[in-house]
């Protein structure tokens, strides 16, 4: 669901809730005065709130209405540009049914976290941030050295892998080439084997258990992007962690999507796309991957 957000004063919302519809709009002006109710996409809500009410409203003064567009009962919503070349915002040309409001949030204090802190918390963030760009450059340089390392000097290759990744257990084998985003957010348990061509995009943590077998050209993809066009155009993105339990086997070409956990001992057939969690001790295949049978307990 695409969320639409509206900032308003708590007292106005309480009045609207009692009446069954919300007809207020920007700065307390009525719908008839303004002509529309102004919404924001999640990545713009702070910018809009500070523009309308300043950076330090009284505690409890403001609320954020979270609206489900599917519940607007035919009231027209159009996404329009606020100014030539500026951000686009949804406008509702009619009263807002209270039933379309799925949540009412207290307006929080300013978010002073760094982009990296936002990223690691799983929130929307901007990747073109100096701290994140420096981390990515470090990973790219170490990755180049690792992928060019000689098979005749395995101790040096192993040292590079441990420098690149966050945690590497004993007797881990990762055959180059390996592609990562940051490297530091990847942990690999002891005796795990990773075949050629792995792509581990670790915007969020990737946790790989012990004794895992990963076939060639497997992709573990933690990044995700907004479905709504405008925040995606503004380059906002997020990520969800991936976890592989002990003794998992991923066949060649498997793709694991953001936020997925695969339970211990589970086998995923070659070429499968895993979009949801898989339990332990099963075989799953297909796109999307589905459980086709259970495995006997070890």
Identify the residue whose tokens are 């719908």.
Answer: 31
The pLDDT of residue 1: 47
- Residues marked as catalytic: 225
Q: In what order do the strands lie in the sheet with 213-214?
A: 173-174, 193-194, 213-214, 249-250, 267-268, 282-285, 290-294
In CATH terms, the superfamily for domain 4-106 is: Protein of unknown function DUF952 (3.20.170.20)
The structure tokens listed for 288 are 């999307």
On the CB side of 246, CA atoms within 13 Å amount to: 5
The pLDDT of residue 289: 97
Identify the residue whose tokens are 């209270």.
Answer: 98
The pLDDT of residue 137: 98
Q: What predicted TM-score, i.e. pTM, was given to this entire model?
A: 0.73
Quick one: CATH architecture of 115-294? 3 Solenoid (2.160)
Q: Is 78 left (phi over 0), alpha (psi -120 to 50) or beta?
A: beta
Q: Which of 189, 224, 233, 261 is nearest to 85 (CA)?
A: 233
The pLDDT of residue 2: 63
Domain ranges of the chain: 4-106, 115-294
The structure tokens listed for 93 are 């040309």
Low-confidence ranges of the chain (pLDDT < 70): 1-2, 43, 55-56, 81-87, 109-110, 298
């Amino acid at each position: 669901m695409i969320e639409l957000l509206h900032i308003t004063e708590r007292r106005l919302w309480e009045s609207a809730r009692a009446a069954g519809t919300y007809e207020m709009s920007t700065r307390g002006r009525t719908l008839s005065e303004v002509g529309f109710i102004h919404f924001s996409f999640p990545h713009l809500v702070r910018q809009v709130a500070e523009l309308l009410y300043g950076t330090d409203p009284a505690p409890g003064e403001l609320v954020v209405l979270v609206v489900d567009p599917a519940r607007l009962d035919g009231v027209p919503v159009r996404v329009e540009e606020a100014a030539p070349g500026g951000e686009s915002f949804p406008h509702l040309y009619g009263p807002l049914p209270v039933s379309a409001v799925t949540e009412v949030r207290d307006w929080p204090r300013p978010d002073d976290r760094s982009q990296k802190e936002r990223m690691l918390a799983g929130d929307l963030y901007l990747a073109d941030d100096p701290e994140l760009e420096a981390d990515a450059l470090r990973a790219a340089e170490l990755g180049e050295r690792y992928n060019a390392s000689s098979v005749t000097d395995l101790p040096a290759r192993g040292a590079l892998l441990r420098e690149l990744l966050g945690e590497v257990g004993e007797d881990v084998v990762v055959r180059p080439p390996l592609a990562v985003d940051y490297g530091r957010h990847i942990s690999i348990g002891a005796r795990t084997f990773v075949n050629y061509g792995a792509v581990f995009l670790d915007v969020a943590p990737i946790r790989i258990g012990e004794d895992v077998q990963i076939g060639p050209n497997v992709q573990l993809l933690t990044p995700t992007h907004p479905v709504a066009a405008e925040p995606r155009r503004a380059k906002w993105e997020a990520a969800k962690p991936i976890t592989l339990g002990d003794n998992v086997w991923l066949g060649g070409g498997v793709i694991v999507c953001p936020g997925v956990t695969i339970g211990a001992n589970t086998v995923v057939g070659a070429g499968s796309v895993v979009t949801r969690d898989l339990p332990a001790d099963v075989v799953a295949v297909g796109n999307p991957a589905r459980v086709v049978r259970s495995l006997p307990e070890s």
